[in-house]
Chain A
């Protein structure tokens, strides 16, 4: 009877613990909830214990493996058979644990020295006109930045956050099972676990997101949310949304100096050219920017691109006042 009570009580605490784990794994935690959590932890030592056990369960790779479709999971090997054996002799276990403890302690000492003291890193990276740059973040992720691009990076023990303030960047994100990686573009926030994707801030309203590996989720406020698997993308422009298919290769073409236009407005192509071209490209009439082009363009060769665009739409371009002007 007392035993039953105990079980029921434990289960009630476990349920609260899971609810907290779920809430705290959201990208944003509001301060009232955060304060509630602290109160809950302080209230009863059993709460911490339950939270620890359920966290271990929730975060375990074992659970992740079981949640993957069993059909796609590699067949069981017999290597770990001994894990199912009857308990080993106490003596044997003790010896192992002692060895383990010594090993762990050595490692812990190393870890404490090697891990940087400062936990929150805030950094800003920017590229100038025509400059391409790859930066490595402290978590092992890399960001390849196109010209005229600026990012602000903030890495804390529980989050990885990048603000793409201008330009375009290709993110190759180190997999971590606990820290989300979020890119904020002002209009849309992109969250990932471990993946590679490209985001472009085309203008004040337009964002283009393309996914090369893994899965990302895009949130554009007012409850608009999309999940994009590898090979797909999204173009957000104000309220309009266009889904992009055929995102191919393992990284975007611009990282090697190419731009793949796919029914892309000329304005977008021009903007891209202007990140690297020796002279600015201007449109004689803003309406020209709405014409669509398809094809692969070498962004290092502005004149060649203008020739191609002019040929497609029967336009002309000339050099004037130190810039290239595209006109009818």
Chain B
């Protein structure tokens, strides 16, 4: 076997990234999404390996945005396989998964979102729905609803803060899952 040299080979020096900083940020990101330490470490390592390969082939505008996106996909693949697998495992193993994603998809979280959305001004709810569900651009939403694109962005920000606060009040803590 070749001695393993992980990390960037010399020839990509023109795109000079601080891979250490990226790896730390990715770990923190995955932890922030409620995954365990060991999983975060593994995924972060895989993300870096892929990023290194990508930088060899193309110019990257935002290393972090790309890194987080790759991490999202790896996490999603993991959950997908996991749920496929867990369908075959006995009931006792399922149901109580503590990951943040499952918490946010639970019946209880939906009820909290529901109540919070109902308390919002109709316009804000409409904006969130169009942006998140229908992927409409802020400009298109603004034109339809007769407000500026900036105002649309403000509604999204405000609405998301409200939703997060509703979770806080209900005791669902987005910070720290251990």
Contact = CB atoms under 8 A, between A and B. Distances in A.
Interface of A: 11, 14-15, 18-19, 22, 24-26, 29, 31, 34-35, 37-38, 41-42, 45, 48-68, 70, 76-77, 79-84, 88, 93, 96-97, 99-101, 103-105, 107-108, 110-112, 115, 117-120, 157-158, 178, 180, 191, 193, 215, 217, 223, 225, 227
Contact of B137 (A26, A35, A157, A193): A26
Interface in B124-178: 125, 128-129, 131-140, 153, 156-157, 160-161, 163-164, 167, 174-175
B66 interface: yes
Given A62-B106, A76-B107, A120-B54, A52 B32 contact: yes
Given A107-B85, A178-B69, A83 B160 contact: no
Interface residues of B, number: 81
Interface secondary structure of A, over-half rule: helix
Contacts of A65: 105, 110, 113
For B46, B65, B131, B163, which residue has the most chain A Cβ atoms within 10 angstroms?
B65
Contacts of B61: 29, 31, 34-35
B8 interface: no
**Which 6 A/B pairs are nearest by Cβ-Cβ distance?**
A52-B32, A66-B113, A34-B62, A34-B61, A60-B104, A80-B107
B28 A66 contact: no
Nearest to B106: A83
A18 B69 contact: no
Given A22-B131, A53-B174, A93-B98, A62 B161 contact: no
Contacts of B72: 55, 59, 178
